[in-house]
Structure 1
């Protein structure tokens, strides 16, 4: 998905804050003993009320018991074991100063109507440390408590209407939390922990009133003790493990196969909405849980709208279609863009622009290696495209903002659990093996542009997902054709037999 430019070194001052916190006075032995005693008493109270100790049959999400076709014993997420989740928690704990807490909130449920929710998607940081895909929880990471999960409480009526959800028992048995309590105990327990802590961290962008409104949290914030922890979670998520890379390869493979099928479909059904539906269908049939973002399907001049979302136009003969799409597989995303002619032929003007974008894509891919930065690749692409635009006559050398009008986007972005991943990692950071990025040069010329008429109304982007390796790079989306001769051959030599009648394509869009 096309990325806007960004810069700056977010998170400045964190290291100094940590250094300052370490110099502050630690709790006395009496305070520590009192806190340990309080936690032990609360655990006894929780068990006495029946919140733990029973066998958990359904935790509200797939497990090895309920979904043996996708999870093996010991996995919390398909392909990711409980051991890896525990390793993640330990890795983040090493970044926490002594006597500090990190608080993570699950994503909120967003409502479509009074009683109908939108499809829930978990916050990436919360999912990264817990593996819990459900709403209503708060997780706390600390040197004394390890991972503590405060879980939502359900009534029989909740189960009747919404099914089983994860509670305290699931937090301990399925997600391997060190401690777990019902969310109703958060006020008492977390408040006491905050009062004994010298520093608090949380994700400022996903802060939840459940803990933010606590008097102890407000007091800590007013005293300058609350900091953003996203800089650390993003650091941990930036370089993917082997298990994560397997999921990302599979996510990219699903999206690539789905897009190829959608390309074949486009000659019979040149309609933005139908192509969007076809891509989602093909992804879900291959195991994806959802789209990574709303598909961008822009035919003709709609392709010049970078994040076009209407997807409601028929594609006219002679126009190109730009599809920027991706899927999410067990929490990991893909992001791929191809531009082609559903009718199997590029006009000379379309081909001139396309060849420039393709050449830029391929040259930028060859720059991907450890030590290079996205910023350096971006600067190379700007020089390459600016020269090409000038040679084509669509950019005058005396136009200071002319290039930005033709391409206002960055060459790429980080990719992972979020499609625009790890926002606190700057584009000036040298790439390392295990990092996944996108490479996506483009050109966007609206119909009312003042360039030559033959180029008006053309939008082109070519985007690949790229894994940085020890020796260079691996293109995860390489199976989808992008040379004009291959695209035209694909559309002109396809065999129909798709199980739908050609006449169905004219459905009033």
Structure 2
């Protein structure tokens, strides 16, 4: 590891540095050096037969060495320059038991924050205030930070997948869709719940919510080694299930309308140190024990008379974090209420 050396003047202003010796003691580095030596080290390392490196698009000041840049860009045959991140991602995609324990804690913290947020929500508060409530509850329970900028979308704002303005008032009679999660010991949680601002689902909201919940639960059941399935396979199943659920409540939709308008996103992604973890690895690979994924079906009904009028303007997503098991999945976020009766009970007990 190459790190900034101890420097009393710099530390007076910016706080203590680990330093070269501290890196060995605290982070178990086999070798540690002053970062000023990195250009010389890299110049020598690039003479190796194979080099595993992910050169940044814009070299920082430390690497602005014409000789080094030349070696990276032209001094090695392309076959000798190999990507490092894909190797690291392969190591990250299956979690150790210790990592699973941390992610259990991360999921429990965020789930409790959702309970408190549901209890607190009422008409007249703003999306920004609800965001602040979630942030507060996560941090007070041990999260160091929110894992990403949350979606706090009241009413038709939920029709935008990545709505992050979070600046509107929450209105009586609307739902609020919240996609949020805290980070604990660097591991992310990623939960979405949708609940009524006034604590009670209307009948159309209840019907549409139950349809999404049925798909969520069915897809979680597929999260096992025994099923011999991939994330893409679960997504295909979710589309089929969603169409069946919508038909039960009066939708008559084409495959195009379902997958491009009503349910335009994937059912899930890998989860870990990043929210969208191991991003280079295909979702077509078969799921293995101790992989951690999200399951997040959703429905977003625009103001369009191709769809039943009573459901227009409603957006619902239900997202859980799931550990792949041999024959039984483990839901890290199971304590975040998602059954209608549990949500209404929670909202009523503020």
Task: Decide whether the 8 Å contact of 1:433 with 1:470 is kept in 2.
Answer: yes
1:214 deviates by 5.3
In the other structure, the counterpart of 1:150 is: 2
The equivalent of 1:377 in structure 2 is 234
2:109 pairs with 233, 241, 254, which one?
A: 254
Q: Secondary structure at the match of 2:149?
A: coil
The answer for the alignment partner of 1:200 in structure 2 is 51
2:41 is matched with which residue?
Answer: 189
Q: Alpha-carbon deviation of 1:160?
A: 1.8
Match of 1:473 among 329, 334, 337: 329
The offset of 1:259, in angstroms, is 0.7
Asked which structure has the greater RCO (Cα within 8 Å, sep 6+), the reply is 2
Q: How far is the alpha carbon of 1:189 from its aligned partner? A: 2.4
Over 3 Å counting, the alpha-carbon distance change for 1:374 and 1:474 in structure 2 is same
1:386, 1:403 within 8 Å by CA — same for their partners in 2? no
Aligned length: 344
Cα pair 1:212 1:218 within 8 Å, conserved: no
1:357 to 195, 199, 212: 212
Deviations 1:204-229 (A, max 9, x none): 56774444755245324322132211
Kindly indicate whether the alpha-carbon contact (under 8 Å) linking 2:146 and 2:183 is maintained by their aligned counterparts in 1: yes
* Pairing partner for 1:169 from 21, 45, 51: 21
Match of 1:420 among 273, 276, 285: 276
Residue in 2 aligned with 1:245? 100
Which structure's CA Rg is the greater one? Answer: 1
Deviates more, 1:459-468 or 1:181-190: 181-190
What CA deviation, in whole Å up to 9, does each residue of 1:176-221 have, x standing for no partner? 21221111111222212222x0111123567744447552453243
Q: Distance in 2 between matches of 1:228 and 1:279?
A: 38
1:458 aligns with 2:314: yes
Q: Which runs of 4+ in 1 moved over 6 A?
A: none
Structure 1 stretch displaced more, 355-364 or 345-354: 345-354
Aligned CA-pair RMSD = 2.0
Deviation at 1:453, TM superposition (A): 2.6
In structure 2, distance between residues paired with 1:205 and 1:419? 21
Whether the aligned pair in 1 keeps the contact of 2:46 and 2:71 (CA below 8 Å) is: no
Residue 156 of structure 1, CA deviation: 3.2
Q: Secondary structure at the match of 2:27?
A: coil
Q: 1:295 to 1:400 in 2, by over 3 A?
A: closer
Gaps of 5+ in 1: 1-148, 497-509
- Distance, in Å, in 1 between the alignment partners of 2:220 and 2:109 is 21
C-alpha distance 165-247 of structure 1, shift in aligned 2 (>3 A): same
Kept after mapping to 1: 8 A contact 2:39/2:65: no
For the pair 1:304 / 2:156, whether they are aligned, the reply is no
* Per-residue Cα deviation, 1:54-96 (whole angstroms, up to 9, x for no partner): xxxxxxxxxxxxxxxxxxxxxxxxxxxxxxxxxxxxxxxxxxx
- Asked whether the equivalents of residues 120 and 347 of structure 2 are also in contact (C-alpha less than 8 Å), the reply is no
Q: Is the 8 A contact 2:223 2:325 kept in 1?
A: no
1:358-397 Cα deviation digits (max 9, x unpaired): 0000100111101321111100001111233344444433
The gaps in structure 2 that reach 5 residues or longer are none
